[in-house]
Amino acid sequence: MWLELGFGGGEHLAWQAAQNPDVGILGCELFINGVASLLRHVREQQLAHVRVADTDSFRVLSALPPASIDRAFLLFPDPWPKLRHHRRRFVRRDVLDLLASVLTDGAEFRFATDHAEYCTWALARVLNHVAFAWTAESARDWRQRPADWPPTRYEERAIAAGRRPVFLTFRRLPRH
């Protein structure tokens, strides 16, 4: 089972579902237009193994059983750039604790952003968490989107605006 937190228009989730028909995929999204867009993809591509939670990702993370997710995606979340809004950023200790709980040992957590300061923020918090290890072995590993990770419209907008996205993959370390 894979989980996408805040799937936007659902293009990435639908692509992953089409490429991985043997994997159940759960997507969380608050915005009704995004949910409607994903449901259109699901219907048109007959993606029967996709489930949608039109609610807050925190609620879903809190409700999932421990060690039930093999891969999680958080792609181009709102960076909440103003200092007074940093408490709204998704990558923070309490969320990472929840994510660590639901991920299986060895699971991947994939994160992308085009906001340099948020990248620094997220990287520091995930690396500081005892449950995660960054998989990058060279700069290429975070500068280039992996082949099994399709572009999103947010990535395309960032590139068009001259911002360079980063693609971070973390591994859930084994529980002791």
Any idea which residues carry the catalytic annotation?
A: 78
Q: How far apart are CA 127 and CA 151, in angstroms?
A: 25
Q: How far apart are CA 53 and CA 5, in angstroms?
A: 10
Q: Calculate the alpha carbon distances from 21 to 14, 17, 49, 53, 71 in Å.
A: 10, 6, 7, 19, 15
Q: Find, among 61, 39, 60, 64, the residue nearest to 50 by Cα.
A: 39
Sign (positive/negative) of CA torsion 64, 67, 70, 76?
positive
Q: Are 15 and 83 in contact (CB under 8 A)?
A: no
